[in-house]
Structure 1
Amino acid sequence: MTFRDDVRRGIAILADDLTSAGDGAAPFRRTGHDARILLTPPASLPRHAVGVTAVDLGSRMLDEEAAASSTRRAAGLFAGSELLFKTVDSTLRGHVAAEVRAAWAGSRRRAVVMAPAFPAEGRVTVEGVQYVRGVPVHESDYARDPAHPVRCSDLATLFPEAVLGRPDRADELPERIGNGDLIVCSAAEDSDLDRLVAAVPQLDEVLWVGSPGLAAALARRCARATGTAASQPAPARRPLVVVGSTNPATRRQLAELHGSGDVQGVTVGVDPAPAVQTLRGLTTPVLTLRTPDERHTPQTAQALARSQAAVVQALAEDHTVDALVITGGETATTVLQPLGATGIDLLDEPEPGVVRGSLTGRLPLPVLIKAGGFGDDAMLLRLCHLIRHPLDPGEHV
């Protein structure tokens, strides 16, 4: 499909997994824009592309060649957007270099401004090197990620063609954009990201690449004076917490949740039937469904993910549960597709790394989705309270 250069249609966010799509769109929702996540790439542009459209390309689960191809097609489809943002994980997991180059080629933008820092979560970029709470990402827990281990922290190694930018030299950005450069920007604070965004006169000349930190800076610059007010959802009677992430932070959060009182759950096996039967028989106000803690072969991990999705589908369709709290982007994608969901209408971002909304499709369930490595040990406890008592800011289940 061709797209006239003079047509500008909303803000588009291209993400490699579902949590990245939510993290990219949520700051714009907070600054007055309507926002929707699409769970799969569209074949053509949405008929009414207003506000923010975030697309989960699912490319982190593909091989590098397929990920690049999918990203390039999507960038071409949304090339006419007034703002085009390609998310990358703030710990550099996934096919970062291949996808950024593919998005640039598809977007037909003059230059790339890349700033992966997310200071609110301790992820900063110093002289082109990515750190997590003071540790280079390739030496952090993310180097041991079972699906996407991080091998390199140095963006200059990933992008030898790049030029490095610093917030104290933000005034050099217009010249570098004019040269058609790929610019990798260091940032240690939100104010650094604001300075970088403010230095670019025409946002639509650039393919923006970053994590929630840069998305928030762009959203602040593009804030709307008026927008659709966020209406509070009805309280959930019985939420199901679905944990597929093996990140240690998420496992600690689950343990804290179970230690709080009225919570029961099961560990899923390859056969979903026992988990369905057990969960249907429990009477606590919050249920949990987790994958086993131990590492598995890719084949077994996929079988467990399919089993987890079957359990969620059974409990949602018979109304045993009426809301979902999901950790991990790949888990969320696997779980939501069998429910017939086509997207998520975003409500807000209650905490960094968390999006809240409602599913679009045949089961319009309230949903909270949390990135696997985000949050303190009490985060799942707070999220369960939020979905059950949306008007009460307390922190107890």
Structure 2
Amino acid sequence: MTTQPKIIVLDDDPTGSQTVHSCLLLMNWDVETLKLGLTDASPIFFVLTNTRALTPEKAASVTREVCQNLKIAIAETQTQEFLVVSRSDSTLRGHYPIETDVIAEELGGFDAHFLTPAFFEGGRITQDSVHYLFIDGVKTPVHETEFARDSVFGYSTSYLPDYVAEKTQGRIPSEQVERFLLADIRAGSQERLKSLTNNQCCAVDGETQADLDQFAQDILTCAAQGKRFLFRSAASLLTSLAQLGPQPVPPEDMAQYERTHQPGVVLVGSHVQKTTQQLSQLLQEPGVAPVEVDVKRLRDNLSEKATLKQEILQQVHGVYQGGKNPVIYTSREELQFADIQQRLDFGIEVSSLLMEIVQGLPGDISFLISKGGITSNDVLSTGLGLRSARLLGQILPGCSMVITSEDHPQFPKLPVVLFPGNVGDAQGLATVYQRLTVQK
């Protein structure tokens, strides 16, 4: 029996833990906090860097800081074997190759880095090195979806070797990318993995969890023999690497984590089409009351922020006292900006307003559902001011639930759902809400 290497995940938004359970999510990355993750009983832990919301320069600097502190924490805890995962979006959006380059520079000596974007819970598979997304049952190359037109992270191809060449601006040519195809993975890849050197870039297929289970087994065997690997991955590979088995409480029974019999709160920040669809379904549920945040007022006049916050909190408390569950959501229209920087800056302002609203919520809410990756990250680190949180598991495929500590000053033992923007069917948000209000 080989020792299980510690799996260190640098997550560019807080939803990458969406296929595992019972591990720590770290919101801070000072040496002492990182040592909590390295010495925790779970084989895996997550550092929530939230770099997808940052500029390329800031993403690089945060990643560097995490890695430099990790080096110290690894030495101080005498962690011998570890794998590093740069967890990012299964639709190929994010700061690649910036993050993997920085990790390789700082934690150096990797034999290979693997692109493994398959995310089965979200309907993303990779075949013949082409990454697909199932949309209403139709297998669609990911470059033909709205995600490829992202104004910050757009791309023109779903063929991973060409994607690598495009994103590295030709530094890694397409033909130099090693392709691990389904047939290769299913036949076993150990000999090939052992021969990789010099941070070789590899694109990995995956059609089912069993494919990644097989690949992860080969990776772990080679890692135990001294090979050093880095991953740019979506969440499904983490399931295979961590080998945790089923979560303690099944998704449909997670209402038992509730702390009071009061209403809970839903916060919706994400703007992708799927979120808007899910929001409209949720608002038809009994017991909910809509509270819209008109963000256009903020764009047109930043000094409106304090007034807007007061108005929203007044509405929320009124709804709550009436025994209803407030659903706080940003207005849905797509606003136009002069450039990307303005859009990112405005996003930060909106998030800061939403976090002040979170801090002003009634102290005895029974749960909090946060919709959107960046919104969820900010809820944990800023809204709730957490250093770390324990992951309970998934309340819906691809949708994590964490719990705050018993000594949280405002919301002790509060169950918080981290719901990525582009996960779940049209009923997804309504289903999570039903699961958490089932006993009331």
Alignment CA distance shift 1:359-1:239 (3 Å): same
Q: Is the 8 A contact 1:240 1:321 kept in 2?
A: yes
Kindly state the Cα deviation for residue 224 of structure 1 after the two structures are TM-superposed. Answer: 7.2
Tell me which residue corresponds to 1:115.
116
Deviations 1:93-146 (A, max 9, x none): 111222223223333332223311112322111222222112222220213446
The within-5 A match list for 1:153-164 is: 153-159=158-164, 160=172, 161-164=176-179
CA distance in structure 2 between the partners assigned to 1:146 and 1:262 by the alignment: 37
Tell me the SS of whatever aligns to 1:37. Answer: strand
- The separation in 2 between residues aligned to 1:350 and 1:92, in whole angstroms, is 24
1:13 aligned partner? 9
- Percent identity for Structure 1 against Structure 2: 24
Task: Determine which of 211, 229, 240 is the counterpart of 1:206.
Answer: 229
**Deviation, structure 1 residue 203:** 3.4
Letter in structure 1 aligned against 2:27: L
Question: TM-score when scaled to structure 2?
Answer: 0.76
SS in 2 for 1:93: coil
RMSD of aligned residue pairs (Cα, Å) = 2.8
Match of residue 216 from structure 1: 239
How many equivalent pairs are there?
A: 372
Q: Does 1:182 align with 2:201?
A: yes
In structure 1, the residue matched to 2:360 is: 314
Q: 1:63 maps to which residue?
A: 55
Using the TM superposition, give the Cα deviation of residue 151 of structure 1 relative to its aligned residue in structure 2, in angstroms: 4.4
Aligned-partner residue type, residue 323 of structure 1:
F
Q: 2:100 and 2:129 mapped to 1: Cα distance?
A: 16
**Gaps in structure 1 of 5+ consecutive residues:** 1-6
Per-residue CA distance 1:18-70 (angstroms, 9 max, x = gap): 112x22xx42x2xxxx4110113234532562223210112112222332343
Are residue 324 (structure 1) and residue 365 (structure 2) matched?
Answer: no
- Structure 2: distance between partners of 1:145 and 1:158: 15
Counterparts of 1:212 and 1:333, CA distance in 2: 16
Whole-angstrom distance in 2 between the partners of 1:10 and 1:104: 17
Do the aligned partners of residues 286 and 149 (structure 1) sit closer, same or farther apart at CA in structure 2, a change above 3 Å counting?
A: farther
TM-score, normalised by the number of residues in structure 1: 0.84
Alignment of 1:1-397 (within 5 A): 10-20=6-16, 22-23=17-18, 26-27=19-20, 29=21, 34-44=22-32, 45-47=34-36, 49-50=39-40, 51=42, 52-75=44-67, 77=70, 80=79, 81-108=81-108, 109-133=110-134, 134-145=139-150, 148-159=153-164, 160=172, 161-170=176-185, 171-180=188-197, 181-200=200-219, 201-203=221-223, 205-220=228-243, 223=244, 232-234=256-258, 236=260, 237-269=262-294, 270=298, 271-282=308-319, 283-296=322-335, 297=337, 298=343, 299-315=345-361, 318-319=362-363, 321-336=365-380, 337-360=382-405, 361-362=408-409, 363-364=411-412, 365-389=414-438
Cα contact 1:264–1:284 (8 A) shared by 2: no
Whose Rg is larger? 2
Greater alpha carbon shift after TM alignment, 104-113 vs 193-202 = 104-113
Unaligned runs of 5+ in 2: 165-171, 299-307, 338-342
Does structure 1 conserve the Cα–Cα contact (< 8 Å) formed by 2:121 and 2:398? no
Residue 257 of structure 1 deviates from its aligned partner by 0.9
2:13·2:88 contact (CA, 8 Å) conserved in 1? no
Q: Distance in 2 between matches of 1:211 and 1:245?
A: 19
What is the CA–CA distance in structure 1 between the aligned matches of 2:161 and 2:248, rounded to whole Å?
41
Distance (whole Å) between structure 2 residues aligned to residue 65 and residue 173 of structure 1: 37
